[in-house]
Structure 1
Amino acid sequence: MGVGPPADHFVPYGPSHWVLIVLLVGGSVVVAVFGHRHRDVEPGFRRGFAGVVLAFNVPLLVYRQLPAQWDIAESLPLHLCDLAWMAAAVALWTRHPLAYALTFYWGLTLTPQAMITPALDAPDFPHVDFVEFWGQHLVVVWAAAYLTWGAGLRPTWREYWFAAAVTCTWVVAMLAFNAWAGTNYGFVSGKPENPSLLDLLGGWPWYLFAEVALALAAWALLTWPWTRVRAQGMAKPC
């Protein structure tokens, strides 16, 4: 008989996972509705949100660099979720359209996918690995929801192509780094051991091409309604 994970380990679709999925959806709705109804406090709330993102993630980033925690395969902020929280912090603080684009596309597609099929082999709450993984992902999704439906930012085709170029560049860079360091950042050099949507996309390297194609298609579908609404609004007679 196989030996399962320890009793205190995180189990996909166990009680803690369902709680986090509820937090993912519920928190996104709350920040979006709050932001939409309280545009008068938008600058203060938005920058306070940026401070929360930094206050949560920066200490954990420093913690991972300590000698007792250092692991070249895990400690470097090279996963896409690491770049996503950095982009979210910049977007929240500045409303910069390019930082927002990365937050929007990564936060509403790739980050939720990582939460639905989490590659997490760690003790359950309140272990630091658990808190880091889930907190890092939650704040990015919440930031994307707030900036879009709360603060009123909108994606454009220019931002779409920027996000596509950055993401493809990151994939190539991680392939090179992983080959040099013997790591697997972003799972671009091999699939995660846990079941994931990548299992439906074929073996390496074919799943990379399929993943990029699906992401670009999904992002285009997310962009088109906003650009259509904007075009219709501009076309209305005075």
Structure 2
Amino acid sequence: MEPLPVDRFVPYGPSHWVLMVLIVAGSVALPVLGHRNRDPRTTTLFTRIFAVVVLAFNVPLLIYQLLPAQWNIAESLPLQLCDFAWMVAAYALWTRQPLSYALVYYWGLTLTPQAMITPALDAPDFPNIHFIQFWGQHLLVIWAAAYLTWGVGMRPNWRGYWFSAGVTLVWIAAMLAFNAWAGTNYGFVSRKPDNPSLLDVMGGWPWYLGVGVAIGLAAWALLTWPWTRTPRESGSAARTGT
């Protein structure tokens, strides 16, 4: 008797929509909660609890994927940008260090949502462990970025912008070198994912890397500019009605 087929995750199927709603709900609820409780001790306690939650969710799953039975050099190593994002998110929540926050802000509000809109997930649907890992990992990073920005009141600046750009470019270069050596495709920097994604409209390799970097840096600049306008600029805009 043949085994029953395992239900696969289907982009924009029921589970995908439920998670998208959950992401939006958490991204609104957590900042509201943080904004209403600005007592320094309460904020420190909550952000550190949040950091522990991020670690408690991700570390066991990281250990699991490194076990001999699960080992696969193409997928098991924590080299994806989302892997670095949850690590940095935990550190930023615990310390509220500006440069670590900047990485969470830019990665969490642009690259992570893109990965969730066009998920490269070839796995069974919920409650499969790979499904839970993929979505939980991304969801917590987005929530952390929203909470630190609109709940705690941290703000990006141009120093954080250039730092994040430099770190991201170094990561891309490192993944290109590692992928060439190991025959892998971490970060999809060596070839496009099989599933449809925004990379499909950016040309072939390596052109889509340059286009993606240019678009990403422009988007990050737009996400920085409103927070860095001087009071004089804001007042002038108000007087002119713009």
| Category of TM-score, reference length = shorter chain | over 0.9
Name the SS of the counterpart of 2:150 in structure 1: helix
- The residue type paired with residue 10 of structure 1 is F
Q: Distance in 2 between matches of 1:234 and 1:223?
A: 15
Deviation (angstroms), 1:234: 11
1:24-73, Cα deviation, whole Å (9 max, x unpaired): 11110010111111112211100000000000000001111100000101
- The residue type paired with residue 69 of structure 2 is A
The percentage of aligned residue pairs carrying the same residue is 73
Deviation (angstroms), 1:7: 5.6
CA 1:135–1:233: 2 relative to 1, 3 Å: farther
Q: Distance in 2 between matches of 1:143 and 1:180?
A: 34
Matched residue, 1:101? 102
Name the SS of the counterpart of 1:39 in structure 2: coil
Matched residue, 1:39? 38
The reply on whether 1:77 has 2:78 as its aligned counterpart is yes
Matched residue, 1:116? 117
Q: Distance in 1 between matches of 2:209 and 2:193?
A: 13
1:12-35, Cα deviation, whole Å (9 max, x unpaired): 000000001001111100101111
Matched residue, 1:17? 16
- The residue type paired with residue 219 of structure 2 is A
Name the SS of the counterpart of 1:77 in structure 2: coil
Q: Distance in 2 between matches of 1:39 and 1:73?
A: 44
1:118-159, Cα deviation, whole Å (9 max, x unpaired): 000000000000000000000000000000000010000000
- The residue type paired with residue 32 of structure 1 is P
Matched residue, 2:238? none
The reply on whether 1:27 has 2:60 as its aligned counterpart is no
Q: Distance in 1 between matches of 2:48 and 2:14?
A: 33
Q: Distance in 1 between matches of 2:79 and 2:116?
A: 18
Q: Distance in 1 between matches of 2:37 and 2:120?
A: 37
Q: Distance in 2 between matches of 1:97 and 1:234?
A: 24
Deviation (angstroms), 1:233: 7.5
**Alignment of structure 1 residues 152-163 onto 2, 5 Å:** 152-163=153-164
CA 1:63–1:7: 2 relative to 1, 3 Å: closer
Matched residue, 1:190? 191
TM-score (norm 2): 0.93
The reply on whether 1:150 has 2:138 as its aligned counterpart is no
- Root-mean-square deviation (Å): 1.3
Deviation (angstroms), 1:89: 0.3
Runs of 4 or more consecutive aligned structure 1 residues displaced over 3 Å after TM superposition: 233-236
Name the SS of the counterpart of 1:20 in structure 2: helix
CA 1:233–1:139: 2 relative to 1, 3 Å: farther
- The residue type paired with residue 147 of structure 2 is Y
